[in-house]
Structure 1
Amino acid sequence: MGRGLLLTTNLPQLQNLIKRDPLAYKEEFLQQWTHYNSVREIFKISPDEQAQNFRELVSFISQVATCYPKETKDFPSHISSLLLDNYGSLSAEMRKVLVQNLVMLRNKDVISSIQLLQTLFPLLPRTTSSTLRSSIRKTILTDIRTANLRARNHKLNKAVQSMLFSMVERGANGEVIGDKGKFKATNATHDAKPFDGEEALWAIILTKELWKKSIWNDAKTVSIMSLGCLHPVTKVQSGSLHFFLSSEEDEEDDSDEEEEIDVRALHHRREINKKTKSADKKLRQKLKTAKKKHAHDKKRLTGDAPNFPALNLLYDPQTFAEKLYDVLNNHDKRFSLDHKILIMHLLARVMGVHKLCVLGFYTYIVKYLTYKQLRVPAILVALAQSVHELTPPDVLIPVIRKIAQEFIHPGVAGEVISAGLNSVREVCRRQPWAMEGDLLGDLVEYRKSRDKAVTAAARGLLRLYREVNPTMLKRRERGKDASMGLASGVQPLPFGHSAEAVASIEGLDLLEEHLAKLRKEGTSSQGDNDDDDDDAAWEGWDEDSSDSSSESEGWIDVEDDNDELVISDSEDEDNNGNKEVAPKLDTTETKFSQLATTKILTPADFSILNDLKLQVASKAAESGGSRAKRKLAELESSKHLNSGQNEAFISENDIMGPRKKAKADYAERMASIQKGRDGREKFGSNKGKQNKGTPSSSTNREKARNKPIMMILSSGAVRGKKKASLRDKQRKLRAHIDRAKKARK
């Protein structure tokens, strides 16, 4: 009896004994289980009465649940129902204990990941504790990442994505009121909480985190975010828009701003303090953090870099773009300007990537095209990004006229004119037929302006039409190359016509010479290793190769009627199967047919080809010539472009163009002066040995002051003073007086 009383009152001791021998202490556990059920019923009626005892029993049963799985099979459902049904009446300590024990059951494989996440997801929007909310969020992300660590857990991913999609979908058709887009109050019951957008916001946050960590990268994830872009709550919509635009945003209220890192102060402190390896390591870490933050700030200032993988995975992008335009047009009065610009940028990027036409967008954006409009460079960027070669010129001509009337005239500042010319150039670069001949003639006349930014913008527009459509320019403005091209019969393609099929690959002769050189040096593989090298060259380039069915289906043998045609994967072979080097031919077209018909070019080959073209362009640029330099710049920019990007990404700096640095006012000048005085003595100088940390010799000026008089009597400086004329003496005296007056000021 004494043993039983001891075990009843000392749950940690009983827990230890049960883990050692579950069968011997099963009766004692059943007593505690019965006691738990009784306390649970009391707790449902009065949560404050048996709170401490109930927490201890829940922790005890969670620890030993694996020892008695049959008896405790309903225990996880008890915790889940308490959290979901009675969350509002539970104390903060009780919520924390229940969540921790539920996670413990998952770690012990008592419940599955789906059962855990089905309980934790609804708790995120309901909890008010930042600590508990952070813990739940970390638990969800860790559990999903662990499940997908070795291989994709498609069952779990599908279930979780369905839950997140439902969280965003609930309330998607609700009515909102006010400028911030809050849901309209409804007659909700006590148990049913009205949708306020919090659960949709958390679904968006978790989906973004999983995408950012490369745990999810499929079309279902993009579908969740695309639904969030159409959500009526502004905060949910903003988070989804930032996902596609890949810009950072602080969705959480409890997120702290990062402190500004002073790099100069770090180096200065390192020079003063004691030199240790740990201090060097900390300094390198802080400098690395500062470098990342500087790069992030620079990216944020230059504009949003679109998330092209997500944009390419959109399902039915035309319908999505039309719905996004309807949201923008219907809620124009409710949205703030910054939010409308976000929608404009996403809509424009979707139109540009997928070659879509949402004609109402150009009618909508015309009213914002005025130089007095706030953030007009960002609006002009959205306009340029929405245009592509399939955009009808008829809808763009009024837009170009509006820009010319508002931005390009003598009554505005030079930076306004340059912004207008640059925006017209970017639109016409994508659709040259949007320009009218008379208007183009007026715009290129601005190349004679005295403002360098305006001149550069006008010359850029002139160079563009010399390349794409010189017939719209006057004869004296076409240039030599364009005039020769027109004389030879070269005409621009009309709207809707595509270029002819590619007859050759630019620079393929460079690749052929490179491969021939490798074969000559013996570095390339020979014989049967060619197939292995070709397979190795595809590694890391084709992500979907494991899912393809080509390996199982095999090759299809086709009979060849032409016996003279011999095709090899690597090198040329004669009729006897012997390897031989192809003779060097005279024409480039023949070189193309030789290499393109005897070798399947891998992505690695194209990478080498791009490097070879860069080398040739660099050598040509060194010898001089503006055309060679432009060619080098195009190759370098195309190398850094995203593989899914169809057009070069532009930013607000491209619209504004090069700008002259504004003259600093008095406050800015004083701040700059004060910044330069930091860390220095008031009137001290760092020259000489007096104010240096390490001793050094005196300066030549100090040595000259201390020379004996007899050593300098015969010097040229002293003798020159004696022979100086009266006029020279007056000039030196006047300069001395002027310096003295300036010093007194």
Structure 2
Amino acid sequence: MVRGLLRTSNLPHLQNLIKRDPVSYREEFLQQWNHYESIRQIFQINPAEQATHFRELVTFVSQVAKFYPAETSDFPSHLSSLLLGSYGSLPPDIRHSLIQNLVMLKNKGVVTSFELLKTLFPLLPRTTSSSLRAFIRRTILTDIKTANQRTRNHKLNRAVQAMLFGMIERGMSGAVLGDKGKLRNNPGAERSSDSGDEAMWAVVLTKELWKKGVWDDAKSVAIVASGCFHPVTKVQSASLHFFLGDDEESEGSEDESEDDTVDVKSLEHKREVKKKTRSGDKKMRKVLKAASKKRKRKGAGNTPNFPAIQLLHDPQSFGEKLYDLLQKYDARFSLDHRILVMQLLARVTALHQLTVLSFYTYALKYLTRHQLRVPAILAALAQSVHALTPPDALTPAIRKLAHEFVHPGVGPEVVAAGLNAIREICRRQPWAMEEDLLGDLITYGKSRDKGVMSAARGLLQLYREVNPGMLKRRERGKAASMGLAQGTQPAPFGYAEKPAVDIEGVVLLEDHLRTHGEDKPPSDENDWEGWELESASSDDSSDSGGWIDVESDGGDHLSVSDSEDEDKKSDGKLPPNEESSTDANRTSTLATTKILTPADFALINDLRLQAATKAVESGGGSAAKRKLASLEAAKKAADSSGPGDTPTFVSENDILGPRKKAKADYEERMASIARGREGREKFGSLKGKRKKETASSSTNREKARNKPIMMIMGSKGVRGKKKQSLREKQKRLRAHIDRAKKGHH
């Protein structure tokens, strides 16, 4: 081989030779390494000089650095210090090349993941190029995900989480500016330091790793929880959305307040006017698909991130800090941001049964019918109530709701919203209602408006079940009156419900399995398929060998069917199909001999629904109908939220209640028209096609003959007849007589 070929301009060729035989070409590499050192010093003084040659040398050294670890031991630190120290003065192509080569060194094992991430994390808030920022973000997420793919890399996770904590903590000492237009008036106020963008990226990356299932521990939740109290409002908003379950993709500093509405007609018009290309069609379909998903997500609502809320450390302190934040910066925060804080405070309070009594006093000023977004505020207020909330703290709120919303001087939608809000509060704490006020509210059950009537009757039915003693005798109903006559009293405030002794509906499953034979049906072999299981890489389940089927001891099973108290008829007798079921209090032993899978629980719900349907069909009375309605509502909620999710929560639709169907938009109308045309022939006149032997259209003379007189008064033929002379009229009449004679003969 001619050594003259091994010049600086032949670096790719030298790189190939070194990879084949690194020992033989060590001297050539040292020459290039010395050349790199000299060029690096020149480049540090003047980055614009020798930029292209420096980039080529860096790429060459990165490719062969693993063959000469002693000589290139300081090379990764050179790249990191250059990026972190002189990032703003580097040309864009040099930045991208240095980051790519640093990632290459990690892939070749020259640097560790932590050393790479320690360099990439500070670059995210400083990068102005969207493509480079996306590359850095994707590299960080992929590297952490790959490190935790087989087993949890606790050492790396702890180090990265410590860096994320530091990124948030560095800006916690700043002043809270709020989001009511002050940032727009003074755009440089929030960006006086990189702490806001740095903290934003820490929250965004943690949310992304949680969403991908890479991190699911309490430390990840603690990172986002600390972001809820960051002085920068957009960091607070991103952290609050994480706990509330909103699927908003925060892109750091990119996601300024953009209008997410998509004008479909405008897009279609642009496609008609501009040049037709496949790439343009693909982009339009992508935009329309994303807009459709966002519209459906907004319409269906978002389920709160209950696992993250459950992993909060010291929920009571977290809730109190949220309320302090809400009260202290009430004048600086916009209404939307205040509602976000109120919603999260309500979720945490309800899930952990916290006591933040000042929140109910704070919410009183928002309980007016003219308040913007009042349904969301009412939903948050109702959600924050639980069984341990003192009734005295809720009574003023119920009085204010009744005074502002429930009276004849407002519209029926306002009355329905007020009654529904009162009902949801009293459902969680029935003792907060006053007896006189309850009597006034249930009189709206005679309203002609469907929403008001349903809301008032729902409140009446609630107190028939939980505390019928607060109702007048004629309003209690037969079942409640019989219960009071037997001495049944509601549990006082502070008393816990009786502990469950059995799984509701498991007797039905036991009877179902007995009907299909003692052995497990073949369809139950894959009961766990399609359901979320514990990750095999988690610490608690890493040594697990899977589920173990516990065989039954072969004992005799009781041949009785399930019977519930709610399915009894109003006259005190059981329905005809359950007359023989006299052991309603039987405790099943199935749960002690068999591990119930998610498929078993789904089957239990279906069996309970079938039993409730049969009870209603056989005349089970109003109690059976209510039981069936509650089971159907629970099934609908489970289908919308998915298996294993937390039950439903209070939403704005629960506050608004049933309403008239909204006017359909353009897409819905066109879809309805298309459905109506299915199976129909193409529209158009069928005259002359059905009534003739040979299909043909009508002539112009036939069409003119059937036209209304007012349509042809101004035609040329009619005007010409009016101007005819006597001689012309005689000629026309003679011609008509001649034609008539010929036709007669």
Q: Which amino acid aligns with 1:614?
A: L
Once the two structures are superposed, what CA deviation does each residue of 1:189-237 show, in whole Å capped at 9, x if it has no partner?
Answer: xxx9834400100111111111111111111111111011111100000
Residue equivalent to 1:608: 603
Q: Which amino acid aligns with 2:342?
A: M
CA contact (8 A) 1:377 1:655 kept: yes
The CA RMSD measured in Å over matched residues stands at: 4.4
- Mapped to 2, the partners of 1:82 and 1:545 lie a distance apart of 38
CA contact (8 A) 2:506 2:588 kept: no
Residue equivalent to 1:631: 627
Q: Which amino acid aligns with 1:631?
A: K
Residue equivalent to 2:689: 698
Q: 1:542 to 1:96 in 2, by over 3 A?
A: closer
1:232 aligns with 2:246: no
1:200 aligns with 2:195: no
- Mapped to 1, the partners of 2:585 and 2:682 lie a distance apart of 74
Q: 1:700 to 1:433 in 2, by over 3 A?
A: farther
Residue equivalent to 1:513: 511
Q: Secondary structure at the match of 1:465?
A: helix
Q: Secondary structure at the match of 1:493?
A: coil
CA contact (8 A) 1:353 1:645 kept: no
Q: 1:545 to 1:623 in 2, by over 3 A?
A: farther
CA contact (8 A) 1:353 1:646 kept: no
Residue equivalent to 2:139: 139
1:468 equivalent among 466, 471, 476: 466
Residue equivalent to 1:386: 384
Residue equivalent to 2:405: 407
Once the two structures are superposed, what CA deviation does each residue of 1:264-284 show, in whole Å capped at 9, x if it has no partner?
Answer: x9xxx9xxx9xxxx99xx99x
Residue equivalent to 2:151: 151
Once the two structures are superposed, what CA deviation does each residue of 1:524-565 show, in whole Å capped at 9, x if it has no partner?
Answer: 59xxxxxx989989996566997559999xxxxxxxxxxxxx
- Mapped to 2, the partners of 1:697 and 1:513 lie a distance apart of 68
CA contact (8 A) 1:244 1:307 kept: yes
Residue equivalent to 2:487: 489
1:377 deviation in Å?
0.6
Q: 1:81 to 1:399 in 2, by over 3 A?
A: same
Once the two structures are superposed, what CA deviation does each residue of 1:415-436 show, in whole Å capped at 9, x if it has no partner?
Answer: 1111000100111111111100
Residue equivalent to 1:711: none
Q: 1:231 to 1:549 in 2, by over 3 A?
A: closer
Q: Which amino acid aligns with 1:318?
A: Q
Q: 1:153 to 1:335 in 2, by over 3 A?
A: same
Q: 1:617 to 1:363 in 2, by over 3 A?
A: same
Q: Secondary structure at the match of 2:515?
A: helix
- Mapped to 2, the partners of 1:676 and 1:544 lie a distance apart of 46
- Mapped to 1, the partners of 2:374 and 2:248 lie a distance apart of 22
Higher deviation after alignment, 250-259 or 21-30: 250-259
1:511 deviation in Å?
2.0
Q: 1:535 to 1:287 in 2, by over 3 A?
A: closer
Q: 1:34 to 1:338 in 2, by over 3 A?
A: same
Query: What pairs with 1:320-331 in structure 2 (closer than 5 Å)?
Result: 320-331=318-329
1:70 aligns with 2:70: yes
Residue equivalent to 1:83: 83
- Mapped to 1, the partners of 2:411 and 2:603 lie a distance apart of 47
Q: 1:178 to 1:236 in 2, by over 3 A?
A: closer
Percent identity of the aligned residues? 58
- Mapped to 2, the partners of 1:502 and 1:218 lie a distance apart of 30
Higher deviation after alignment, 631-640 or 137-146: 631-640
Higher deviation after alignment, 590-599 or 396-405: 590-599
Q: Secondary structure at the match of 1:10?
A: helix
1:638 deviation in Å?
3.2
CA contact (8 A) 1:538 1:603 kept: no
Q: 1:4 to 1:569 in 2, by over 3 A?
A: closer
- Mapped to 2, the partners of 1:52 and 1:238 lie a distance apart of 43
Higher deviation after alignment, 2-11 or 532-541: 532-541
- Mapped to 1, the partners of 2:615 and 2:62 lie a distance apart of 74
Query: What pairs with 1:77-116 in structure 2 (closer than 5 Å)?
Result: 77-116=77-116
Aligned residues: 654
Q: Which amino acid aligns with 2:512?
A: H
Q: Which amino acid aligns with 2:197?
A: E
Residue equivalent to 1:60: 60
CA contact (8 A) 1:176 1:183 kept: no
Residue equivalent to 1:209: 208
Once the two structures are superposed, what CA deviation does each residue of 1:293-349 show, in whole Å capped at 9, x if it has no partner?
Answer: 646423313544211111111111111111111111100011000000001100101
Query: What pairs with 1:514-553 in structure 2 (closer than 5 Å)?
Result: 514-519=512-517, 522-523=519-520, 547=539
1:588 aligns with 2:583: yes
Query: What pairs with 1:367-382 in structure 2 (closer than 5 Å)?
Result: 367-382=365-380
CA contact (8 A) 2:507 2:588 kept: no
Query: What pairs with 1:266-665 in structure 2 (closer than 5 Å)?
Result: 294=292, 296-519=294-517, 522-523=519-520, 547=539, 570-573=551-554, 587-588=582-583, 591-592=586-587, 595=590, 605-622=600-617, 626-639=622-635, 640-641=637-638, 648-661=648-661
- Mapped to 2, the partners of 1:550 and 1:66 lie a distance apart of 35
Q: 1:254 to 1:201 in 2, by over 3 A?
A: closer
CA contact (8 A) 1:572 1:582 kept: no
- Mapped to 1, the partners of 2:588 and 2:682 lie a distance apart of 74
Q: Which amino acid aligns with 1:409?
A: H
1:287 deviation in Å?
9.3
Q: Which runs of 5+ in 1 are unaligned?
A: 526-531, 553-567, 574-578, 680-685, 708-735, 741-745
1:676 deviation in Å?
9.7
1:596 deviation in Å?
5.7
Once the two structures are superposed, what CA deviation does each residue of 1:553-587 show, in whole Å capped at 9, x if it has no partner?
Answer: xxxxxxxxxxxxxxx964455xxxxx666666975
CA contact (8 A) 1:352 1:385 kept: yes
Higher deviation after alignment, 631-640 or 312-321: 631-640
When normalised by structure 1's length, the TM-score is 0.78
Higher deviation after alignment, 111-120 or 172-181: 172-181
- Mapped to 2, the partners of 1:353 and 1:204 lie a distance apart of 23
Residue equivalent to 2:575: none
CA contact (8 A) 2:391 2:429 kept: yes
Q: 1:22 to 1:236 in 2, by over 3 A?
A: same
1:59 deviation in Å?
1.0
Once the two structures are superposed, what CA deviation does each residue of 1:462-496 show, in whole Å capped at 9, x if it has no partner?
Answer: 11111111111111111111111111111111100
Q: Which amino acid aligns with 2:196?
A: G
- Mapped to 2, the partners of 1:627 and 1:697 lie a distance apart of 63
